[in-house]
Amino acid sequence: MSTKNLYIDESCHLEHDGFPVMCVGYTKINATDYEKLKETVKSIKLKHNAPTEIKWNKLSKSRIELYKELIDFFFEAPIHFRCILVKYKQKLNHEAFNKGDHDSFYYKLVYFLLNSSTNPPNGNDYRVYMDIKDTRGKERLAQITTVFENKHHGESPFIHFQHIRSDENEFLQLTDLFIGAITYKSRKEHEKEGASAVKKEVISYLEEKSGYLLDEGTEPWEEKFNIFDHQPKSKS
């Protein structure tokens, strides 16, 4: 039996936040690799005099080499990334497809994010750690747990769900960096006047290393760096 740790973060996930896209994603590691990988990430941050939390919304041009080294490390290390990118969020038809509300869509999104061919159930257990976003965290966590137990008839391979703080976890910070880059490009922020030079450079470097355009998705069977591009149908 192999145990995997998955670290989920989300961007633009609120229904009426004014953004046309949303993204939910995770980084995944073998539980036995946790300490070694964590210490390596910390050592990279210290090397660049950046011991604090890495956040997409607070990238600094002076730390571009840090971000590139973290991306290099990801592609060299036994770490995997997967996300679901939802474009044209305004087209979501909750009444027809999501039991009438955005929360139900969110739970469905998390289910399909995790319950994919990249996470086979046979011989594997999964422990899921999610970034705390709002005061409804406990309620959402309980609902997600219930969804998985019901879908797997009480035998879900996703055996543990827990909220943690992103400033205390290196892998949530990696997830935040990746989904931040993906949503930034998908919203075409990189094309706007005054767009962040460091964010544009991180996007270009991540595309170079992954071999994919961040706003177009990847092959569905891609295991290392997987982006599922979901485009809702228009409302009738």
Q: For residue range 23-76, what is the model confidence (pLDDT) as tens digits?
A: 999 999 999 999 999 999 999 999 999 999 999 999 999 999 999 999 999 999
Is the pLDDT score of 89 beyond 70?
no
Which residues constitute the domain of residue 38? 2-230
Q: The CATH number of the domain where 89 resides is what? A: 3.30.420.10
- The count of domains in the chain is 1
Q: Which residue has the tokens 């990334």?
A: 81
Q: How confident is the model at residue 228 (pLDDT cuts 50, 70, 90)?
A: very high
Give the whole-angstrom CA distance, residue 179 versus residue 23. Answer: 6
In a domain, 96, yes or no: yes
In angstroms, the Cα distances linking 192 to 141, 178, 189 are 37, 20, 5
Q: How confident is the model at residue 78 (pLDDT cuts 50, 70, 90)?
A: very high
Residue 149 CB partners (closer than 8 Å, separation 6+): 156
Please give the model's pTM, rounded to 2 decimal places.
Answer: 0.89
Residue 37's pLDDT is: 98
In a domain, 235, yes or no: no
In a domain, 188, yes or no: yes
Cβ–Cβ < 8 Å for 214, 227: yes
pLDDT digits (tens, 9 = 90+) for 138-177: 787 888 888 888 888 888 999 999 999 999 999 999 999 9
In a domain, 70, yes or no: yes
Is the pLDDT score of 83 beyond 80?
yes
